[in-house]
Chains A and B, each alone.
Chain A
Amino acid sequence: MLANAPRLMLVGRRLVQFVPVIVLATFVVFGLLKLVPGDLAATLAGEYATEERIAQIRESYGLNDPFLVQYGRWLWNAMQLDLSRSFQSNEPVLEQIMHRFPTTMLLVVGALLVSLVVGVPLGILAATNAGSRLDVAVTSLSSFGVALPNFWLAMILVATFSLSWGWFPATGAVRFGTDPAGAIWHAVLPSIALAAGGIAEVVRQLRSALIEILSSQYVRTLYAKGLSPSAILWKHGLKNVAVTLLTVIGLLASRLLGGAVVIEAVFAIPGMGSMVVRAAIVKDFPVVQGVVFTMVILVIAINLVIDLLYTIVDPRVALK
């Protein structure tokens, strides 16, 4: 069912788009890093460096080569899944990413789940009671959620649930593969903090889409045919907002990946976000490029999955 021609064409189109997106994103980041002031070789040489040592480092890392040569070399290696080694630790970048990827993903998936579990019922509640005090309360809360800085919420959560009550850990992370229960326990507060904006997003989008559907002519016809409000909502209303919900999930997943950077810093979580921040500070190009490369692939993959899900929820999409 999944492998029909329109869907294959959709996947093919996405894969063709993948190449320029990846080249453009990594090229821009590479260029921006080059624009950041400071000599990488002098930084790597450290506090005791002699001029000779700095020159030696510049030579051995190929920093004397023209910009395009440096970028081209990185891209060629990346295409062969060789993301080079960190300038700072000399560790293979791919290994570092694989080591940290599950931690960040647990955080993102957790935040996505919290956003949906809280956001969907609230969105339905607001839409089915549109104009009521409940609706005003929910929409006001969601506006608050959008405006709330997640690092601030994170600190409030830590102060309350970790420092005062001791229910959850204040910092750190446990690998899911080592201790699944411990990993989830550590991810609860960071996920909630990260999800604040997501909940608001889901509530607002779902509410407006559902209100539009519930006020459409075919729903009026359904009422006229004698269907109960709950049957209309569950059988017809929610089915028709599925595309909107998928779009929100797709956008949210990409946004949460970016938002994880701040949350990882507040909770001292050794994930990809904290890794890329530290690498950017010390101009560790291979690590920054590697993370950007991974993130771009991830975002493209998420979009591809969402597009495929569109075609299942609404087969007309693939034909378009």
Chain B
Amino acid sequence: MNAPIKLPSGRIDRRTFLALTGAAAMAGGEAKAQKRGGTLRLSAQSNPSSLDPQTGNSGSDHVILYPLYDSLVEWDYTTLQAKPGLAEKWAYPDPSTLVLTIRDGITFHDGTKLDGAAVRYNLMRAMSHERSNIKSDLGTVAEITASGQTVTLKLKQPDSALPLILSDRAGMMSSPKAMEEHGRDYDRRAVGTGAMKLVSWADNERVVMVKNDSYWKKDRPLQDGMVFQIIPELPTGLRSVTAGQNDLVYYLVPQQKQLIDRARTLGSAVGPSLLCVHAYINYGRAPLDNVKVRQALNWAVDREEFNKATHGGIAETTSTILPKAHWACATEFSSHFSYDPDRARKLLAEAGHPNGLDILGVGYAEQLQVQQQEVLMEQMKRAGFRLRWERYTGPPTPAAFFAEKKGDILLAPWTGRPDPSLTYQLVFGVGSYFNAGRGEGAPGLTEALLATRASDDLAVRKEAFRKLQKIVTDNALHLPLLFRPELTAYSAKVKGYKPNLLGKPKFEDVWLEG
């Protein structure tokens, strides 16, 4: 029997992460020890917004969507680099054309065949359906043609980000027949090609799945079924695993690590994630349209103390939007901003605010969020910022900032995307929903963004991301704080669980012992 992987209490860096996922992979990779059968019971914090990948609007949906849907492209757990999925290969015959070759012999859960036409139907729907929430993901696609198992995407401009974009919602393939048949009701149906088939979804209660007997991946799935129990309270979710009613709970908060360690029957896994705790800035209007004020804001925060006070010191503090473990991270900017209230005061004075400045923050009313807001309020006070918070509960919070344009900053996490260009595009791009001001935050930003998608050579892209990050950092377009580690707890019978860098758990290698 494998002992649960116990993790160091310090922060997770790239080396530690690789070692940990390696250890986990060893635990999961013992092919002879892997057992089949049993139902994996999971405690999920959020009810899915939809089981249609194209109409859903919550970052927490993915964990439930992954078993139901395969995506055209997949990613490596440790590096997030693209690897074949439903598309066995892809190529750019020229910079503005992407050709995907779809695997033969795969069927949807309703028995219909996955071919080029089905893929084209999905992509066209994602681009044009009135309820699609991912139109902007495929914004560079001009035309799609399909022939047999081949799909050709003609692009408006070179876009090397597309393969990884197709590993996300846009690449999750649904049965065209099922979508036609169910119309809007497809939100609650889910007919993909995934390892699990949907049995039922009782709203805010549970999502039940059973294994797909004709699954195309060899030796998968390892479980007979999966049940996601929707338990919004994380302590209750953890208790359900301790009591043996569920097998695994994910998206725990760092404060719960000690509790897990004390419960000797539980194992845990901590992995770095792309989930960046930061403050979005509305730089489209005064006072934060002034770069010096934004820089002052960044120098006014003691990230290390913030980490200790709010995340038990186990998170990775940052001055960028990508963690150090990510291939595209320009690490020279990761610690760019340190705590320097005097410098912040000086910058504020230069910006015309010698007597300090009032800032209105928008934030969640949940207890842990309020704690973070209060730490920031206290730290910033020393630099001359008089920060006060307007609090909302749940989804109305981001809507108040991005749609209703309330407040100057919003303290909320960014959950990350498989391709980093999409992260930068969505958070800082002109007209993006997550760019509250909607305008260009700094000269040259749009060009730098385009450059990150112009080549499929990783080294070239990395350099393009370095230039882009420099613009973002120099202009202090947001207030990055730290990356929240992905914390998962599971019972002793759960084997083979591996965290991934995206921070959205997948359970394809998990099996149940006993």
Q: Is A282 an interface residue (CB 8 A)?
A: yes
A33-63 vs B, CB cutoff 8 Å, 1 = contact: the mask equals 0001111101101111111001010000000
B379-390 interface bits toward A, Cβ cutoff 8 Å, 1 = contact, 0 = none? 000000000001
Residue B371 lies at the interface, judged by CB distance under 8 Å to chain A: no
Cβ contact within 8 Å between A172 and B240: yes
What are the interface flags for A263-306 relative to B under an 8 Å C-beta threshold, 1 for contact and 0 otherwise? 00111101000110010011100000000000000000000000
CB distance from A187 to the nearest CB of B (A): 15
**Is B399 a contact partner of A42 (Cβ separation < 8 A)?**
yes
Q: In the bound complex, what is the Cα–Cα distance between A158 and B236 (angstroms)?
A: 10
Q: Which of A120-175 contact B (CB under 8 A)?
A: 158, 162-163, 166, 169-172
Contact status B403-A45, CB under 8 Å: yes
The residue among A43, A266, A278 with the most chain B CB atoms within 10 A of its own CB is: A43
Complex contacts, A266 vs chain B, CB 8 Å: 233, 236
Once A46-B133, A265-B232 are accepted as A-B contacts, the answer to whether A283 and B396 lie under 8 Å apart by CB is yes
Residues 133-169 of B, flagged 1 when their CB comes within 8 A of A and 0 if not, give: 1111000000000000000000000000000000000
Whole-angstrom CA separation of A274 from B231 in the bound complex: 10
Instruction: Tell me if A240 counts as interface (CB < 8 A to partner B).
Output: no
Q: Considering the complex, which residues of chain B in the window 84-108 have a beta carbon less than 8 Å from any beta carbon of chain A?
A: none
B229 close to A (CB within 8 Å): yes
Q: Does A80 contact B (CB under 8 A)?
A: no
Report how far A172 CA is from B396 CA in the complex, Å.
28
Contact B57 A46 (CB under 8 A): yes
Give Cα A158 to B57, complex, Å: 35
Contact at A99–B202, with CB atoms within 8 Å?
yes
Count of chain B residues with Cβ under 8 Å from any Cβ of A?
Answer: 48
Q: How far is the CB of B154 from chain A (nearest CB, A)?
A: 24
- Whether A47 contacts B232 by the Cβ 8 Å rule is no
Of all chain A residues, the one with the shortest Cβ separation from B406 is A37
In the complex the two chains form, what is the Cα distance from A46 to B61 in whole Å?
Answer: 13
Query: Which residue of the partner chain, among A40, A56, A171, contacts B236 with CB atoms under 8 Å?
Result: A171
Find the residue from B184, B245, B397 having the highest chain A CB count within 10 A: B245
B396: contacting residue among A39, A99, A162, CB under 8 A: A39
- In the complex, identify which listed stretch (A88-96, A230-238, A311-319) lies at the interface while the others stay far away: A88-96
A288 to chain B, nearest CB (A): 13
B231 to chain A, nearest CB (A): 4
Interface presence of B361 (CB below 8 A): no
| Residues of chain A contacted by B245 (CB below 8 angstroms) | 169-172
Q: For the complex, what is the distance from the CA of A171 to the CA of B242, rounded to whole Å?
A: 11
- Is B396 a contact of A282 with CB atoms below 8 Å? yes
Contact with A along B70-90 (1 / 0, CB 8 A): 000000000000000000000
Q: Which residue of A lies closest to B391 (CB)?
A: A37
Q: Of A163, A267, A281, which contacts B394 at CB under 8 A? A: A281
Q: State which residues 176-223 of B face A: CB under 8 Å.
A: 184, 187-188, 202-206
Inside 8 A of B475's CB, which chain A residues have their CB?
Answer: none
On whether the beta carbons of B187 and A90 are closer than 8 Å, the reply is yes
A245 to B185, CA, bound (A): 50
- Which chain A residues lie closer than 8 Å to B395 at the CB level? 43, 46, 281-282
B400 CB–A CB distance under 8 Å: yes
In the complex, the answer to whether A37 meets B243 with C-beta atoms within 8 Å is no
- Given A39-B403, A268-B229: A274 and B49 interface contact (C-beta under 8 Å): no
B130 at the interface (CB under 8 A from A): yes
Name the interface residues of A80-109: CB closer than 8 Å to any CB of B. Answer: 86, 88-91, 96, 99
With A43-B399, A171-B236, A281-B393 in contact, do A48 and B136 touch (Cβ < 8 Å)?
yes
Instruction: List the B side residues contacting A283 at CB < 8 Å.
Output: 396
Measured between alpha carbons, how far is A56 from B204 in the docked complex, in Å?
Answer: 26
State which residues 364-419 of B face A: CB under 8 Å. 390, 392-400, 402-404
- Which 10 interchain pairs have the tightest Cβ spacing? A46-B57, A38-B396, A42-B403, A170-B243, A42-B399, A281-B394, A270-B205, A48-B133, A171-B240, A268-B231
Q: 11 A–B contact pairs at CB < 8 A?
A: A37-B400, A38-B396, A46-B57, A47-B57, A47-B398, A96-B203, A163-B239, A163-B243, A169-B245, A281-B394, A283-B396
Can you name 11 extra interface pairs (CB under 8 A) apart from A45-B399, A46-B56, A278-B47?
A38-B392, A38-B396, A38-B400, A38-B404, A47-B133, A49-B433, A86-B203, A166-B244, A170-B245, A281-B393, A281-B395
